[in-house]
Structure 1
Amino acid sequence: MNKPRWTRRPERSNWGDFGADDELGRLNLIDHNAVLRGVREVKEGRSFCLSLPLDYPGGNVLSPRRHPPKLCPTFRDDKPVYNLPLDESGLTHTDVLSDDAVLLHTQYSTQWDSFAHVGKLYDATGTGAPKPIYYNGYRGGDDIVGPSESNGRPIGAQRLGIETMAVKAIQTRGVLVNLFSRFGRDRKLVNYDDLMRIIDEDQISIESGDILCLYTGFADMVMQMKGKPDPQLLASSHSVLDGRCTSLQNWIVDSNIAAIAADNYAVEALPPAPAVAAPCARLPLHELCLFGYGIPLGELWLLGELASALEKSKRHGFLLTAPPLRLTGAVGSPVTPVATL
């Protein structure tokens, strides 16, 4: 019998609640009732693309290690397959082919984080030696394998890879909270009281298995910059969750939302509000959601057009379809979410 991956469950976690080997976390709450609740939101038959162009924001000034996609042709008989006649004589076949490949940074643009994206140095077995650990006790080096640990094994997430979210075929009720309508382009760290005030004033109902979508206007500004983002302006603009707000963290846990998606980087403020004490997470909401409770985070979603349509119809809910790529072993993925009203 294999030893358990963990004997010390983090104080703020749901490890084991969905099974010892669970890799879906709170996505388990997207059951048939959640899907049907989302379907019932479809009244008009209108669909909205919630993805940026995947070559946006543009360049790499916002994230130096991430770059836009690079397209290149595939080759046939040492010839690039772009406008390539299948039969150059044209006597037998008239087909002309184009075929390409892409080098893609999975978290450059509109994306999902998998649970293998952010873990924690944590002593899961009581040895006194904290090690890299991820949701439900999956281990760095054993389950999430880097180049120095591969020893001939494939590099990547052997467990908690993004493909588990793809197989789940994420479709449920989305609920949009319009932060931009309250705070505009001003930089604002949104705490629990701020969020609850909007939810109460707008009479927004959030149920188990829903995906919370936060519209701040950030991605709209990215689009307006046309591939040449201004990092200083973006960093000083728009509202963002205060990841260090304990009451906000508690609400995320108690709400039973399946995931959070926002139109900005990271969902939470970067840099965060100052910590009370060290050591601590630089990304406290990522630690709470990805490491502790298995709540996926979506970033850089394009929500402006949807927000306007919902405001005009005095609605907040919609059918959200947002599976990532079924890319085995990846720790994140581009996504083209679709909202249907």
Structure 2
Amino acid sequence: MASTQLRWKRQPEGSHWGEFGPDDQRGRMNLVDRAKVLQGVAEVREGVTFCLSLPLDYPGGQTMNVRRQPPRRFAVLRDGKSAGQQGFCWSYQSEDPDLTDVVNDDVVLMSLQYSTQWDSLAHVGSHFDADGDGKEEPVFYNGYRGGEDVIAGTEMQATEPWARYENPEARALSIAVLAEHGAQGRGVMIDLEHHIGRKRNAVGYDALMRILEADKIAVEPGDMVCLHTGFADTLLSMNKMPDLRVLHETGTGLDGHDKKLLNWITDVRLACLLADNPAVELVVPKPLTPSPIRGPRLPLHEHCLFKNGIHLGELWHLTPLARWLRAHRRSRFLLTAPPLRLPGAVGSPATPIATV
């Protein structure tokens, strides 16, 4: 039974906690309802599909993010042996010579947010005084608490730093909540690359409005908005050997420090923001000297995930779809993009599909 008791006394400025009830964990994806799914289906005219995922072994290595592990695959053991010890496949003839089956199984170990991904609402929170007692605590969307609803796991002995904490768990706001929703609706493409090119540029409100006007794009409540910058396409051309200098110059993204842009994101009531770059927003390098102004390193992440329940998607491969849509003078399509239904996880790989 849902509670009516708020878990906070204060909510952050510019936030919409409680918009969908005190226990809501879906955020603005609540706007992707049956009507929005039907709007997405109505955009299907050709029956052509586009895979919007990079191969999940991209970017390659850990050059782009030392904290995220590329996939490593292992063969499943049977009777203490791998399939590789018997060729490439298991043969049941070792059990019964009359059986004809040959079988393979494997295991993958990877960071869930290594490649094309979804961020859950448990991915980014903030230190905030939600209790109104003058003390900040780690808080997530809708007042869910770090250490209670989102826990780091149990510390253990490990040779690799990523394995230091075992069984972390988002008891609330996990990526499984989005998976259970289905993440299917009407996608809208905003083609930043066409207007700006592939160069480092922080796109603020004024520039974005000019692009929307030029391309006659209207973003409506519940739309799943995609931002094409060309970053993932450049990354794909590097064949798993990312060149950070080139990628840095390629890095167009939204200007998370533009208050007008952040207000537009919430006021237009879009459901989620999805981009082919690593963070949706343009990440500003950490200054050499501390800033006198206290605030987030990733202001758009804070605004979307923490304050307003707007899921983010990163490193989606949007270039083929964006070019097809432009060639056909369209911007809308059916987007089907469920993450893994993995309870407790704060992010997930994705293989989104656009149908036009």
Normalising TM by the smaller chain, what interval?
Answer: over 0.9
**Alpha-carbon contact 1:208-1:256 (below 8 Å) kept:** yes
Which of 74, 79, 82 pairs up with 2:81? 79
Please tell me whether residue 324 in structure 1 is matched to residue 324 in structure 2: no
Distance 1:231 1:311, change over 3 A: same
- Structure-2 separation of matches of 1:155 and 1:317: 38
- Structure-1 separation of matches of 2:63 and 2:53: 20
Which of 258, 261, 264 pairs up with 1:251? 264
SS of the residue corresponding to residue 297 of structure 1 reads strand
5 Å matches for 1:37-186? Answer: 37-81=39-83, 82-88=88-94, 91-147=97-153, 155-186=168-199
Describe the superposition over 1:148-194 as per-residue Cα deviations: whole angstroms up to 9, x where unpaired: 599xx952101100000000001110000111111112211111011
- Structure-2 separation of matches of 1:315 and 1:258: 20
- Structure-1 separation of matches of 2:323 and 2:130: 46
Which of 207, 211, 217 pairs up with 1:204? 217
Could you tell me how far 1:215 is from its partner in structure 2?
0.3
TM-score when normalising by structure 2: 0.91
Please tell me whether residue 262 in structure 1 is matched to residue 275 in structure 2: yes
Please tell me whether residue 333 in structure 1 is matched to residue 328 in structure 2: no
Please tell me whether residue 282 in structure 1 is matched to residue 297 in structure 2: yes
Between 141-150 and 311-320, the greater mean CA deviation after superposition: 141-150
Could you tell me how far 1:239 is from its partner in structure 2?
1.6
Could you tell me how far 1:23 is from its partner in structure 2?
0.1
Kindly tell me the number of residue pairs found equivalent between the two proteins: 340
Structure 1: give runs of 5+ residues left out of the alignment: none
- Structure-2 separation of matches of 1:31 and 1:52: 28
Distance 1:25 1:185, change over 3 A: same
Could you tell me how far 1:147 is from its partner in structure 2?
2.6
Between 309-318 and 11-20, the greater mean CA deviation after superposition: 11-20
Kindly provide the amino acid, as one letter, of the partner of residue 331 in structure 2.
H
**2:159 corresponds to which residue?**
none
Could you tell me how far 1:200 is from its partner in structure 2?
0.6
Could you tell me how far 1:277 is from its partner in structure 2?
5.5
Describe the superposition over 1:44-91 as per-residue Cα deviations: whole angstroms up to 9, x where unpaired: 000000000000000001000111111101111111134121122762
- Structure-2 separation of matches of 1:242 and 1:2: 36
5 Å matches for 1:5-44? Answer: 5-44=7-46
TM-score when normalising by structure 1: 0.95
Structure 2: give runs of 5+ residues left out of the alignment: 157-165
SS of the residue corresponding to residue 94 of structure 2 reads coil
Please tell me whether residue 234 in structure 1 is matched to residue 236 in structure 2: no
Which of 184, 187, 191 pairs up with 2:204? 191
Describe the superposition over 1:228-257 as per-residue Cα deviations: whole angstroms up to 9, x where unpaired: 001121012242111100110010010100
Kindly provide the amino acid, as one letter, of the partner of residue 340 in structure 1.
T
SS of the residue corresponding to residue 236 of structure 1 reads helix
* RMSD between aligned residues: 2.1
Identity of aligned residues (%): 50
